[in-house]
A and B are shown apart, each in its own frame.
Chain A
């Protein structure tokens, strides 16, 4: 009986993993195929890779969040090496911060999730700008206009993902 219970639990865990992998795969498809095949330009468009990082980070321990941030940052630095290492450092800090924040307070509210997506993207953008030696006179416009715009669009898409896939991602939403 105990064996059967353990078997069922293992099977449930595996199917959970497949569901999460499906959602993350969908986000990666949106990031690398659908977004560039529809939208031309980079200002204000949602960052699906950031959503992948945040959705993974809130499911993991802070160390795992940092490791995921490292992988995402390395990918971005390899694709657009404006300053190699800037994206790695920014994503490690955001991944670790999101994971740590999740363990301190429970993000079961939709608004808290939205705030997490918004703040994560905004902080990441500001860190990347600072680490990429952005001239001080350019910094306010980039950090206070374009970065919040992208953070907002990312948060909106993130909320939609959470609402649609909340059962698959095992995210409880209190109303």
Chain B
């Protein structure tokens, strides 16, 4: 007993629709590592020409519209490097005199940002550099202005960066003088200048004035110490009244970044890698049968 062609078509539509919805819900429920793997696999295969075309378009735009600003930046940087060369040599000499190891240099990879015209574009950026260029997960992503985020997924020729505008972002931060530290994460709501950050975990006694620069603290090992994050614009007390929440205007905007720098290892963090930690000295043997010796009440 077969239905009419109209009924058959309606049944097919229903099955297609429910199948698509079920697959979409399944995709939403996937663990993050799985979804990143699927996205990376699609980018390496069927979407590879799309990524390559868009990367090419970005390069064309830069050469067409940004050549003068790139030249200006290069010239000003050349002057800066020439001026700091003597300073660097002097610093190396002083480090040699006091026996301090040379400062680690951070290798970097340049990448173009392949923006999409979607409302969530600034939270996760697609970059045109991947593991073939030495990029790995958790490599920090910065611009000349400051912090953007870190790599969460890599393919051979592209990678995804989770930015500070993503609700999942958090990093340790400190003031430029290193006196006060806390945690930086995206602030809910929008400022007139766009999305902002919040510096939390700062005690009320450590009052920070407006305009104070905030940098990454290097704790946790993802971001090296000293990447500029933003500038404090206002403060509000925490709900429990023990600390302050500082609103920070970021220096770098993920939505406006067209070109980024990925810092690849080694990372000059305040915490050395566990394998490099010195072994603890052997504990002295405790004297037997003297339980209360040396205890002062």
Q: Which residues in A have some Cβ–Cβ distance to B below 8 Å? A: 32-38, 40-43, 45-47, 61-64, 66-67, 69-70, 73-89, 92-93, 96, 125, 128-129, 131-138, 141-142, 146-147, 150
| Given known A77-B39, A81-B35, A132-B123, contact A37–B27 (CB-CB < 8 A) | no
B167–A80 CB distance below 8 A: no
A136–B188 CB distance below 8 A: yes
Q: How far is the CA of A75 from the CA of B126 in the complex (A)?
A: 13
Chain A contact residues, majority secondary structure: helix
| Contacting residues, chain B, for A77 (C-beta < 8 A) | 27, 35, 39
Q: Which of B8-16, B171-179, B271-279, B283-291 contacts A (4 or more CB under 8 A)?
A: B8-16
B57–A37 CB distance below 8 A: yes
A66–B35 CB distance below 8 A: no
| Given known A33-B53, A78-B38, A87-B118, contact A92–B17 (CB-CB < 8 A) | yes
| Given known A63-B16, A67-B16, A79-B43, contact A85–B27 (CB-CB < 8 A) | yes
A82–B16 CB distance below 8 A: no
**CB of B67 closer than 8 Å to a CB of A:** no
| Given known A41-B255, A88-B23, contact A82–B54 (CB-CB < 8 A) | no
Q: Which of chain A's residues has its CB closest to B16's CB?
A: A63
Q: How far is the CB of B41 from chain A (nearest CB, A)?
A: 8
* Cβ proximity bits B181-192 to A, threshold 8 Å, 1 near / 0 not: 000001011100
Which among B21, B29, B30, B166 is the interface contact of A92 at CB below 8 angstroms? B21
Chain B contact residues, majority secondary structure: helix
Q: How far is the CB of B288 from chain A (nearest CB, A)?
A: 60
Which among B28, B56, B61, B124 is the interface contact of A131 at CB below 8 angstroms? B28
Q: Which of chain B's residues has its CB closest to A67's CB?
A: B16
Q: How far is the CB of B66 from chain A (nearest CB, A)?
A: 8
Q: How far is the CB of A82 from chain B (nearest CB, A)?
A: 4
B114–A36 CB distance below 8 A: yes
A43–B16 CB distance below 8 A: no
Which among B65, B116, B125, B188 is the interface contact of A138 at CB below 8 angstroms? B188
In the complex, the 8 A-B pairs of residues with the closest C-beta atoms, listed nearest first: A85-B27, A63-B16, A84-B35, A85-B28, A63-B13, A137-B189, A82-B120, A89-B24
Q: How far is the CA of A131 from the CA of B64 in the complex (A)?
A: 37
Q: How far is the CA of A135 from the CA of B167 in the complex (A)?
A: 8
Q: Which of chain B's residues has its CB closest to A69's CB?
A: B20
B117–A66 CB distance below 8 A: no
| Contacting residues, chain B, for A85 (C-beta < 8 A) | 24-30, 35
A41–B39 CB distance below 8 A: no
Which among B17, B50, B124 is the interface contact of A62 at CB below 8 angstroms? B17
Q: How far is the CB of B3 from chain A (nearest CB, A)?
A: 16
Which among B43, B50, B121, B126 is the interface contact of A32 at CB below 8 angstroms? B50
B47–A42 CB distance below 8 A: no
B258–A78 CB distance below 8 A: no
B13–A150 CB distance below 8 A: no
| Contacting residues, chain B, for A142 (C-beta < 8 A) | 119, 190
B27–A138 CB distance below 8 A: no
Q: How far is the CA of A50 from the CA of B20 in the complex (A)?
A: 18
B30–A42 CB distance below 8 A: no
A42–B118 CB distance below 8 A: yes
A66–B195 CB distance below 8 A: no
| Contacting residues, chain A, for B26 (C-beta < 8 A) | 85
| Contacting residues, chain A, for B17 (C-beta < 8 A) | 62-63, 66, 92, 96
| Contacting residues, chain A, for B256 (C-beta < 8 A) | 40-41
B117–A129 CB distance below 8 A: no
**CB of B115 closer than 8 Å to a CB of A:** yes
Which among A63, A78, A129 is the interface contact of B14 at CB below 8 angstroms? A63
A146–B9 CB distance below 8 A: no
Q: How far is the CB of A161 from chain B (nearest CB, A)?
A: 16
Q: How far is the CA of A35 from the CA of B115 in the complex (A)?
A: 10
A-B CB contact pairs (8 Å), 17 listed? A35-B117, A36-B57, A37-B61, A46-B117, A62-B16, A62-B17, A63-B12, A63-B15, A63-B17, A64-B13, A64-B16, A73-B24, A80-B118, A80-B125, A86-B28, A89-B25, A142-B190
| Given known A36-B57, A89-B24, contact A42–B255 (CB-CB < 8 A) | yes
| Contacting residues, chain A, for B120 (C-beta < 8 A) | 80, 82-83, 86, 128-129, 132, 134
| Contacting residues, chain A, for B116 (C-beta < 8 A) | 42, 76, 79-80
